């Protein structure tokens, strides 16, 4: 099955499933039921597709309330410029920041704990400038704010995490879709490594279980997966334009497992091939059965 | 006049310190400021580098300017510009009055040091940077004083932060945020040998308590060079017939111009025997003269008292250089395959022999190194190479797209690379220790090294192998391998390897692009 066919089937079956729901005793929830689980928007303008995807889910006001302090967490892991698809698209990040303020957020914070030097990653990724221009408070990780936290996961019991994450009113995950050596792919859940302190490379020993533990702990309100450009080889750092595919797509959702499950299809994979998706599904963090999800696909 | 000089001195010192603070990445590829211009303007570094490397390099306009200005105006560089001189000046203020040391001819030491350095340079050994005031100052600030400053401030503000006192902590965090944006480094620097280098500079500054500007008068080889150049300077001091030999000018003298002949002689004789080579042109002596007998002006009259170094001393100094040069070189470290494998030079560094002839150990590259991985060597490169830069990946790796060290190197010991050249420059090769690597030795999943490897395609790849765990269950494991043809030796794998202390993957300088011989691959 080709990826496109697969997606088409997924959308069709998803749509078919939603129909009886709308007619049942859930009429009072009609507004909610009409909302898709995932919004997949394709188009030439990264800002517009980002806005449209959030809109399909009910608009940013569904996720951000007036006066909220919001953390927007992109992937700013590597010293690469945007066209190499190693970091989240800066326009997507800036648009999310803008929408948050539009929804009444008091303050929007943008940060990541990069692998390469933070000054270079922030600058070269274009994210620091773009997010700051949109009004975000862009800051480097302050080591003093990495504190041991009781994650109480199955494998990750305690780990130093960034306190600004737990102190935030709302968290929005804005990862980019890339291939990755040990994790196969890095999508939404993998992005939480960017709030970890300590010798986080150690979690590679049980990467999938640890990521699910982290994702369960963080609980983002919204996930916007950037697939404007995806990295299909030599990930997660890339370094060659030949390894970049332009999909001009963003995927938005509230279910961390569902977003990542859909993310696998961008690479022609099945959701259950990704360990953290499989474990996230089986432990009830979310739903990886794309066929059972309501997926709204639009092109603009 | 005194206040004008003080103002100019302060201006140059602040300019120097500001440039020093700018010697740090802001995330862009270029620094944007000419952070090395004080080194560019240093004639001693210029001259010795040319002599030692037998080649011209880069910018010499500033050094030539200083030479010409000195030949006309005398040692104005020492008295008005040199940041180390100004610091000596300030350190001397800690003591109200110091009595000049009563040893005749102590001032000659600096000339003998200069001759020694020049003799060595002539024989191809570059040691000027050890003694040169600008290199010494930048090295000391970079590797010791600035890290201390940062450590002290950080621990203070961290303390207030940890106590979390109402109002006060908010205020201190505000100040801390401001300091972080202005004078504090991005992250706390740590340098091997910072303690030794710090002690040396504090000792040199403490000498001012024995006698003001001790370093400038007796030790500084750059001062000596500028002194020689100012022998026939046109700007001269003259004393009119009104002088009654009260000695007020002698007491105000910053340099050693008033004591050319040592303790002997009357005050009158000393006043008259002004020595242009020892005068820092501070113009201090102009003000206190009760008779207004002292004046500075241009004149073509033949020079002041002659500089008498003594033939034997000069010869002795030259001989010392001739002895020191081969002594420094009889180390097996220069032999192929013997060289210290951990001596990983920064990307763009010249071949070792030429590198040592160019490197003046100023520490600029170590200051600017974005990860702090560039560290001063001790004896890894022989005594000749002491305090030259080497990458210690356990401390910090070489950021793949960063080229700052080559941008700040004043003598071209590290070439300025563009991004394409940088990507193609190997500083060493990584190799895996199978006895410590988790997937090899312990059947555990890891390959952090593969994740962080920055080349495209990655130099570190993995082979998926089927193994059995303790209970005999089959498991799939990814084991890393290094593609030596792709590895550039940046060391990020070593830095990030979770096997701490003695990492399971380490870089040595084998395979470094700059060496013709230190190679492994066919």
Token pair recorded at residue A139 = 């800051």
- The DSSP code sequence of B391-437 is E-TTT----TT--HHHHH-SSSSB----HHHHHT----EEEE-TTT-
Report yes or no: B290 at the A interface, CB cutoff 8 Å: no
> Residue B157: how many CB atoms within 10 A of its CB?
20
- What is the rounded CA–CA span in Å between residue B239 and residue B249? 11
Q: pLDDT (tens digit, 9 = 90+) per residue, A90-119? A: 999 999 999 999 999 999 999 999 999 999
- What is the rounded CA–CA span in Å between residue B288 and residue A197? 63
- What is the rounded CA–CA span in Å between residue B495 and residue B374? 13
Whether B249 and B289 have beta carbons less than 8 Å apart is answered as yes
Q: pLDDT at position B56, please?
A: 79
Report yes or no: A124 at the B interface, CB cutoff 8 Å: yes
Closest CA to B481 of B500, B456, B505, B507: B505
Chain B residues near residue A233 by CB distance under 8 angstroms: 457
Whether A224 and A171 have beta carbons less than 8 Å apart is answered as no
Asked if A117 and B371 come within 8 Å (Cβ–Cβ), the reply is: yes
Please report the number of interchain residue pairs, chain A to chain B, with beta-carbon separation below 8 angstroms. 93
- What is the rounded CA–CA span in Å between residue A299 and residue A297? 7
* Nearest-by-Cβ selection for B498 from A140, A201, A238: A201
Q: How far is CA A270 from the centre of its chain?
A: 18
Q: Which residue is closest to B373 within chain A, CA to CA? A: A117
Closest CA to B200 of B25, B403, B376: B376
Ramachandran assignment for B390, one of left (phi > 0), alpha (psi -120 to 50 degrees), beta (any other): beta
Q: pLDDT at position A27, please?
A: 38
Secondary structure of residue A6 in the 3-state scheme: helix
Distance from CA of B288 to the nearest CA of A (A): 53
Q: Which residues contact B53 (CB under 8 A, 6 or more apart)?
A: B124, B126, B354, B357, B358, B411
| Gyration radius of chain B's alpha carbons | 27
Q: Residue for token digits 């690597």?
A: B437
> Residue B145: how many CB atoms within 10 A of its CB?
18
Asked if B450 and A181 come within 8 Å (Cβ–Cβ), the reply is: yes
Q: pLDDT at position B50, please?
A: 94
Q: Beta A137-138 vs B474-482: how paired, if at all?
A: unpaired
Question: What pTM does this model have?
Answer: 0.92
CB burial string A91-108: b at 16+ within 10 A, e below: bbbbbbbbbbbebebebb
Q: pLDDT at position B242, please?
A: 83
Asked if B500 and A199 come within 8 Å (Cβ–Cβ), the reply is: yes
Q: Beta A222-231 vs A176-180: how paired, if at all?
A: parallel
- The DSSP code sequence of B111-179 is HHHHHHHHHHHHTT---HHHH-HHHHHHHHIIIIIHHHHHHHHHHHHHHHHHHT-TTHHHHHHHHHHHH
- What is the rounded CA–CA span in Å between residue B35 and residue B33? 5
Helix, strand, coil % in chain A, rounded to nearest 5? 45, 20, 35
Query: Residues, chain B, total?
Result: 522
Asked if A205 and B444 come within 8 Å (Cβ–Cβ), the reply is: yes
List, for chain A, all residue ranges whose pLDDT scores fall below the cut of 70. Answer: 1-33
Secondary structure of residue B228 in the 3-state scheme: helix
Q: pLDDT at position B260, please?
A: 44
CB burial string B330-350: b at 16+ within 10 A, e below: ebebeeeeebbebbbbbbbbb
Q: Residue for token digits 């066209």?
A: A83
DSSP-derived letter for residue B25 is -
Asked if B26 and A181 come within 8 Å (Cβ–Cβ), the reply is: no
- Using omega within 30 degrees of 0 as the cis cutoff, is the peptide bond preceding A272 cis? no
DSSP-derived letter for residue B350 is P
Chain B residues near residue A207 by CB distance under 8 angstroms: 445
Asked if A180 and B452 come within 8 Å (Cβ–Cβ), the reply is: no
Token pair recorded at residue A24 = 């049942």
Chain A residues near residue B420 by CB distance under 8 angstroms: none
Secondary structure of residue B485 in the 3-state scheme: coil
Q: Which residue is closest to A125 within chain B, CA to CA? A: B27
> Residue B355: how many CB atoms within 10 A of its CB?
23
Report yes or no: B463 at the A interface, CB cutoff 8 Å: no
Report yes or no: B313 at the A interface, CB cutoff 8 Å: no
* Nearest-by-Cβ selection for A182 from B453, B478, B500: B478
Chain A residues near residue B500 by CB distance under 8 angstroms: 199
Asked if B453 and A206 come within 8 Å (Cβ–Cβ), the reply is: no
Report yes or no: B185 at the A interface, CB cutoff 8 Å: no
Chain A residues near residue B186 by CB distance under 8 angstroms: 119, 140
End-to-end CA distance of chain A: 26
Q: pLDDT (tens digit, 9 = 90+) per residue, B45-65? A: 999 999 999 987 767 899 999
Q: pLDDT at position B271, please?
A: 63
Distance from CA of B496 to the nearest CA of A (A): 7
Secondary structure of residue A179 in the 3-state scheme: strand
Report yes or no: A5 at the B interface, CB cutoff 8 Å: no
List, for chain B, all residue ranges whose pLDDT scores fall below the cut of 70. Answer: 58, 257-272, 302-306
């Amino acid at each position: 099955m080709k990826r496109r066919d697969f997606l088409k089937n997924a959308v069709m079956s998803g749509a078919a499933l939603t129909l009886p729901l709308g007619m049942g005793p859930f009429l009072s929830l009609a507004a909610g039921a009409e909302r898709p689980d995932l919004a997949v928007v394709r188009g030439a303008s990264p800002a517009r597709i980002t806005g449209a995807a959030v809109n399909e889910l009910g608009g940013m006001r569904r996720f951000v309330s007036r006066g909220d302090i919001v953390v927007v967490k992109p992937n700013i892991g590597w010293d690469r410029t945007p066209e190499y698809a190693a970091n989240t698209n800066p326009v997507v990040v800036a648009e999310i920041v803008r929408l948050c303020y539009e929804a009444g957020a008091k303050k929007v914070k943008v940060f990541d704990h990069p692998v390469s030097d933070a000054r270079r990653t922030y600058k070269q990724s274009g994210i620091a400038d773009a997010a700051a221009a949109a009004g975000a408070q862009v800051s480097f990780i302050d080591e003093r704010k990495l504190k041991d936290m009781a994650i109480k996961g199955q494998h990750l019991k305690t780990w130093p995490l960034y306190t600004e994450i737990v102190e935030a009113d709302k968290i929005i995950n804005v990862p980019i879709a890339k291939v990755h050596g040990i994790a196969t792919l890095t999508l939404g859940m993998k992005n939480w490594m960017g709030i970890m302190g300590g010798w986080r490379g150690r979690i590679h020993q049980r990467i999938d279980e640890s990521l699910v533990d982290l994702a369960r702990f963080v609980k983002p309100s919204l996930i916007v997966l950037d697939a404007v450009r995806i990295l299909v080889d030599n990930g997660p750092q890339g370094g060659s334009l030949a390894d970049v595919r332009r999909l001009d797509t963003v995927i938005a959702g509230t279910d961390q497992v569902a977003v990542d499950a859909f993310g696998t299809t961008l690479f022609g994979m099945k959701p259950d091939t990704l360990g953290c998706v499989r474990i996230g599904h089986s432990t009830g963090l979310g739903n990886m059965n794309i066929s059972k999800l309501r997926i709204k696909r639009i092109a603009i | 006049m005194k206040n004008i000089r003080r103002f100019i001195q302060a201006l140059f010192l602040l300019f120097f310190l500001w440039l020093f603070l700018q010697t740090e990445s802001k995330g862009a590829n270029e620094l944007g400021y000419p952070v090395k211009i004080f080194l560019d303007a240093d004639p001693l570094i210029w001259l010795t580098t040319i002599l030692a490397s037998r080649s011209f390099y880069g910018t010499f306009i500033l050094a030539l300017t200083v030479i010409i200005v000195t030949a006309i105006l005398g040692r104005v560089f020492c008295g008005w510009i040199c940041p180390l001189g100004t610091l000596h000046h300030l350190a001397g203020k800690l003591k109200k009055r110091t009595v000049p040391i009563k040893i005749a001819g102590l001032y000659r030491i600096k000339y003998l040091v200069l001759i020694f350095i020049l003799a060595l340079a002539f024989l191809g050994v570059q040691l000027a940077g050890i003694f040169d005031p600008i290199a010494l100052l930048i090295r000391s600030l970079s590797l010791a004083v600035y890290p201390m400053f940062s450590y002290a401030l950080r621990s203070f503000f961290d303390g207030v932060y940890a106590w979390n006192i109402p109002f006060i902590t908010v205020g201190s965090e505000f100040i801390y945020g401001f300091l972080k944006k202005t004078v504090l480094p991005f992250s706390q620097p740590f340098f091997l040998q910072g303690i030794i280098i710090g002690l040396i500079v504090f000792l040199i500054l403490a000498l001012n308590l024995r006698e003001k500007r001790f370093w400038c008068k007796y030790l500084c080889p750059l001062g000596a060079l500028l002194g020689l150049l100012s022998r026939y300077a046109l700007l001269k001091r003259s004393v009119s017939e009104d002088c009654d030999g009260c000695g007020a000018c002698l007491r105000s003298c910053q340099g050693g111009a008033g004591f050319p002949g040592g303790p002997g002689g009357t005050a009158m004789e000393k006043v008259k025997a002004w020595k242009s080579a020892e005068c820092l042109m501070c113009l201090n002596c102009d003000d206190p003269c009760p008779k207004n007998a002292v004046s500075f002006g241009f004149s073509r009259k033949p020079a002041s008292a002659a500089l008498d170094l003594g033939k034997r001393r000069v010869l002795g100094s030259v001989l010392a250089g001739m002895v020191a040069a081969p002594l420094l070189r009889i180390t097996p470290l220069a032999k192929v395959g013997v060289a210290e494998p951990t001596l990983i030079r920064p990307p763009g560094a010249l071949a070792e022999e030429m590198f040592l002839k160019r490197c003046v150990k100023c520490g600029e590259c170590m200051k600017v190194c974005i990860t702090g991985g560039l560290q001063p060597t001790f004896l890894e490169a022989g005594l000749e190479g002491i305090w030259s830069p080497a990458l210690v990946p356990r401390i910090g790796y070489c950021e793949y797209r960063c080229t700052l060290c080559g941008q700040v190197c004043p003598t071209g010991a590290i070439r300025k690379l563009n991004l394409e050249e940088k990507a193609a420059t190997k500083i060493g090769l990584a190799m895996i220790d199978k006895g410590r690597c988790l997937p090899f030795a312990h059947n555990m999943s890891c390959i952090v090294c593969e994740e962080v490897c920055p080349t495209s395609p990655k130099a570190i790849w993995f082979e998926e192998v089927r193994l059995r765990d303790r209970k005999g269950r089959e498991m799939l494991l990814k084991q890393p391998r290094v593609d030596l043809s792709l590895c550039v030796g940046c060391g990020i794998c070593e830095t990030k390897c979770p096997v701490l202390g003695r990492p399971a993957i380490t870089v040595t300088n084998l395979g470094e692009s700059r060496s013709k011989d230190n190679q492994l691959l066919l």
